[in-house]
């Protein structure tokens, strides 16, 4: 038998249950509505009869914001009334609807000018809730409630405004006025002298009574609106001057504005609240795509997830892709992904016959509204290969002072073409970046583009050189070409490390900038990042940057650059645990250094190969190569390399059981480290010496040595070395039977080593687990 149609009460219950689920539970529903979570719980379980809900309007408003319900305020009210009737309870008093009155005193139908809603709408629960607070819940009675929805092009400002206005239109019994002010688009913006008469006529004024002067028209609009409860939607506004004459003077009306800038003047002088509309989350994007495309999203979840990422969670792009999927229903989502993966044609695949839905066209309207200086900055940012840009990098691109670049970035931020993140750094949406690159190629000369890229690389080269000098002061550094750009934005070790933390991703992207004329700069930039990567164990970025550098040095024919990059790439691969690949690079480096006649380079390759042999258990061979390298370093006076190589020899001697010899070499190494202020190498040698002392049973000395290693690791900013030292302290505590102390040190070590992705974290984890198991199984005293 088929199931009978659900009753009104059953539909009410299931609707509330779906809404509560999408809101994230009873507590979230309570926070958004002010209605007790117990009432929400009873309602979704069918236990609460509607007339027992004392604050139904608040509950209803939240229910109407939930996309899954697909039900507006009026629909919920009708369902509420139906449940009352079904339950034999009295109906509520229906709301009074006021008709507007024209000049002749005749009652006319209230204007309802809203265009159709988008049909399928992303949830935007937070933003709708915020609009409710600004326009419906504001307790002030002497101020016109105004909300300004701002956001980048294509983010869905109009969809949000129109959807909200439809859902809550019955709150405004005297009507809803709507105007597309065409602030951004192919047509001229709507002039005040055009919009004011149009609204006055709709509100009942005869043409002959409408004043000729705009100020008088604006006053007439405020007069007509006085005492009425109306909503005014000003969509796609460009400037505050376009909006102000259209504002009512009575708090019984509400105003909803969408624009691409924040209109700060309205916030300052009219008390407007701003709703900043950002990109959709991954879940919201997937739900929107599924609502638009249907079950194909469920059938191809991986392709759907890739589409969402390729569209950058931008609603406009998702809608264009969805329309393409619907129009070509035999084409798989994976095929659409294959089309969009091609960066050079991605915007082509996001075009549309309707200019309002064409991604490139919508972006062009914002670009056309920029000043010449801001437009140039927008174009140049299309050449920036990294994710985040600050005023210094932007200044290098444009060849201007950082303060000027900062002002231009702020102008782009106000136009919502870039977004500010922490620390006065800005980012641009991936699709906007592609458009910026297109207009750069279109509007800038080849010389200007080449010049901007070289200035940017020179800034990073010279700044990275200075940062490396402060972070790893004793390291050899290659010379860098180009004129010294602006002063680096730091003056000490901590500032240099902070700059590298913030900018290393951009630097890696610059290393990968495949421009032959910049090859000599690219490999040198990677070389200057090596010390930072070794310190922080950012092995993936280290490998990526040096693979690009190796290709660049090879293409520009710099044999020394090729040899150095082989050597440093080998160290990175060794850190990753790929010793076979590392050995191949070391051997290539040694061969090239030998051909060039660079004996220091040859010795470096010997010392690196010795490390691989030690890991293989070929200790005598490792000692032989290390001893050869050490002899050269001593003769050449390369004390930093002497200290590092002595530690490597000590590690072999530990494996061979030659504890006294290892201690002797480590003490010498530490002396050199202290003289040269080699904090990171001091931490490494101290931890190794701590191992020696622990093996010799000299626990008090071992503990002191490991504690000194912790301090050295902290001072040089190496979480890896700090973690190794804590590991050693834990092992000392185990030897003393201090299990609680050992557990604390192991946990600290594990957290530090995991934070940098170190393979040794597995060993620490195993020792910690063994310790915990022993404590659990140990009999009670």
DSSP string, 490-505: --SHHHHHHHHHHHHH
Give me the CATH topology for the region 8-94. Answer: 434 Repressor (Amino-terminal Domain) (1.10.260)
Would you say 648 and 609 are in contact if contact means Cβ atoms under 8 Å apart? no
Strand partners of residue 427: 388, 419
CATH of region 110-276:
3.40.50.300
Distances from the Cα of 174 to the Cα of 14, 108, 169, 226, 280, angstroms: 33, 10, 10, 11, 34
What is the model's pLDDT at position 682?
93
427 three-class SS: strand
Residue 348: how many CB atoms within 10 A of its CB? Answer: 12
CA 617 to chain centre: 45
Q: Angle at which helices 639-655 and 619-636 pack, to 10 degrees?
A: 160
CA distance 693 to 208: 101
Q: Which residues of the chain have pLDDT under 50?
A: 1-3, 67-69, 91-107
Largest CA distance in the chain: 110
CA distance 268 to 275: 15
How many Cα atoms sit within 13 Å of 724 on the Cβ side?
24
Continuous segment of H or E residues that includes residue 233: strand 231-237
What is the model's pLDDT at position 484?
67
Least Cα distance to 17 among 53, 66, 54, 58 occurs for 66
SS (H, E, C) 319-332: HHHHHHHHHCCCCC
R_g of the chain, CA atoms, integer Å: 34
Would you say 231 and 256 are in contact if contact means Cβ atoms under 8 Å apart? yes
What is the model's pLDDT at position 104?
39
Residue 96: how many CB atoms within 10 A of its CB? Answer: 6
CA 473 to chain centre: 33
What is the model's pLDDT at position 466?
94
Give me the CATH topology for the region 370-444. Answer: Arc Repressor Mutant, subunit A (1.10.10)
Q: How long a stretch of residues is the chain?
A: 781
CA 485 to chain centre: 29
CA distance 233 to 158: 10
Strands 254-259 and 231-237: parallel
Cα angle at 662 between 658 and 664, to 5 degrees? Answer: 125
DSSP-derived secondary structure letter, 67: G
Q: Give DSSP secondary structure letters for 134-184.
A: HHTS---SSS--EEEEE--TTS-HHHHHHHHHHHTGGG-TT-EEEEE--SS
CA distance 259 to 275: 11
What is the model's pLDDT at position 88?
61
Which residue pairs from 738-747 have beta carbons closer than 8 angstroms and sit at least 24 positions apart in sequence? 739/771, 739/774, 739/775, 742/771, 743/768, 743/771, 743/772, 743/775, 746/771
Would you say 610 and 629 are in contact if contact means Cβ atoms under 8 Å apart? yes
How many Cα atoms sit within 13 Å of 51 on the Cβ side?
13
Residue with tokens 């509505």: 33
Q: Are domains 110-276 and 699-777 of this chain identical in fold?
A: no
CA distance 259 to 225: 24
CATH of region 699-777:
1.25.40
What is the model's pLDDT at position 406?
95
Strand partners of residue 389: 426
Environment class of 558 (CB within 10 Å of its CB; exposed 0-12, middle 13-18, buried 19+): middle
Least Cα distance to 360 among 411, 317, 310 occurs for 317
Q: Is the pTM above the cut of 0.85?
A: no
| Residue ranges per structural domain of the chain | 8-94, 110-276, 282-359, 370-444, 699-777
């Amino acid at each position: 038998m088929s199931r009978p149609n659900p009753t009104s009460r059953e539909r009410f219950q299931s609707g509330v249950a779906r809404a509560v689920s999408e809101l994230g539970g009873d507590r979230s529903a309570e926070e958004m509505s002010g209605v007790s979570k117990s009432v929400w719980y009873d309602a979704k379980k069918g236990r609460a009869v509607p007339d027992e809900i004392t604050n139904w309007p608040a509950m209803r408003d939240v229910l109407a914001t939930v996309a899954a319900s697909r039900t507006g305020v009026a629909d919920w009210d009708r369902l509420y009334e139906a449940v009352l009737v079904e339950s034999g309870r009295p109906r509520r008093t229906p709301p009074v609807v006021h008709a507007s009155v024209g000049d002749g005193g005749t009652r006319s139908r209230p204007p309802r000018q809203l265009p159709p809603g988008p049909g399928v709408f992303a949830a935007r629960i937070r933003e709708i809730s915020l609009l409710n607070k600004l326009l419906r819940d504001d307790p002030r009675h002497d101020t016109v409630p105004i909300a300004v929805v701002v956001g980048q092009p294509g983010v869905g400002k109009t969809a949000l405004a129109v959807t909200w206005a439809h859902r809550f239109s019955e709150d405004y019994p005297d009507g809803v006025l709507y105007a597309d002010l065409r602030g951004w688009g192919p047509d001229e913006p709507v002039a005040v002298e055009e919009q004011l008469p149009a609204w006055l006529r709709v509100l009942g004024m005869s043409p002959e009574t409408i004043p000729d002067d705009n100020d008088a028209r604006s006053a007439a609009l405020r007069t007509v609106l006085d005492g009425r409860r109306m909503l005014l939607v000003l969509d796609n506004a460009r400037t505050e001057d376009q909006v102000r004459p259209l504002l009512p003077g009575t708090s019984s009306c509400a105003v909803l504005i969408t624009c691409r800038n924040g209109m700060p003047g309205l916030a300052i002088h009219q008390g407007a609240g701003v709703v900043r509309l950002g990109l959709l989350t991954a879940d919201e994007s997937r739900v929107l795509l599924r609502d638009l495309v249907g079950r194909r999203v469920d059938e191809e979840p991986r392709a759907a997830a890739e589409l969402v990422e390729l569209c950058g969670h931008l609603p406009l792009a998702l809608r264009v892709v969805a329309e393409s999927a619907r129009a070509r229903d035999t084409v798989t989502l994976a095929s659409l992904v294959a089309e969009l993966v091609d960066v050079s044609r991605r915007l082509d695949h996001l075009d549309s016959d309707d200019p309002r839905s064409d991604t490139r066209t919508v972006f062009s309207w914002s670009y056309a509204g920029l000043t010449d200086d801001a437009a140039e900055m927008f174009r140049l940012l299309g050449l920036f290969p990294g994710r985040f840009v600050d005023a210094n990098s932007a200044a290098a691109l444009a060849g201007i002072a950082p303060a000027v670049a900062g002002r231009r970035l702020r102008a782009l931020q106000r136009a919502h073409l870039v977004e500010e993140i922490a620390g006065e750094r800005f980012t641009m949406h991936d699709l906007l970046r592609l458009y910026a690159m297109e207009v750069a190629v279109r509007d800038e000369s080849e010389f200007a583009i080449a010049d901007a890229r070289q200035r940017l690389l020179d800034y990073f080269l010279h700044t990275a050189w200075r940062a490396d000098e402060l972070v790893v002061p004793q390291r050899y550094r290659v010379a860098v070409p180009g004129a010294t750009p602006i002063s680096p934005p730091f003056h000490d070790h901590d500032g240099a490390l902070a700059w590298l933390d913030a900018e290393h991703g951009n630097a890696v992207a610059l290393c990968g900038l495949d421009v032959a004329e910049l090859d000599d700069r690219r490999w040198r930039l990677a070389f200057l990042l090596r010390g930072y990567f070794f310190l922080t164990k950012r092995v993936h970025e280290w490998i990526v940057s040096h693979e690009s550098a190796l290709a660049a040095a090879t293409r520009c024919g710099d044999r020394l650059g090729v040899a150095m990059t082989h050597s440093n790439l080998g160290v990175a691969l060794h850190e990753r645990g790929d010793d076979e690949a590392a050995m191949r690079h070391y051997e290539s480096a040694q061969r090239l250094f030998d051909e060039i006649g660079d004996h220091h380079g040859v010795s470096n390759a010997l010392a690196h190969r010795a490390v691989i042999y030690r890991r293989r258990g070929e200790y005598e061979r490792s000692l032989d190569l290390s001893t050869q390298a050490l002899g050269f370093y001593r003769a050449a006076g390369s004390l930093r390399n002497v200290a590092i190589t002595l530690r490597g020899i000590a590690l072999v001697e530990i494996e061979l059981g030659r504890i006294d010899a290892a201690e002797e070499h480590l003490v010498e190494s530490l002396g050199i480290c202290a003289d040269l202020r080699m904090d990171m190498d001091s931490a490494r040698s101290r931890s190794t010496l701590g191992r020696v002392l622990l093996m010799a049973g000299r626990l008090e000395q071992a503990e002191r040595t490991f504690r000194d290693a912790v301090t050295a690791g902290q001072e040089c900013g190496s979480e890896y070395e700090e973690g190794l030292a804590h590991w050693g302290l834990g092992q000392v505590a185990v030897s003393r039977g201090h299990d609680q102390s050992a557990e604390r040190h192991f946990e600290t070590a594990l957290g530090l080593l995991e934070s940098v992705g170190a393979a040794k974290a597995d060993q620490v984890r195993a020792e910690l687990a063994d310790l915990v198991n022993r404590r659990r199984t140990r009999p009670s005293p």
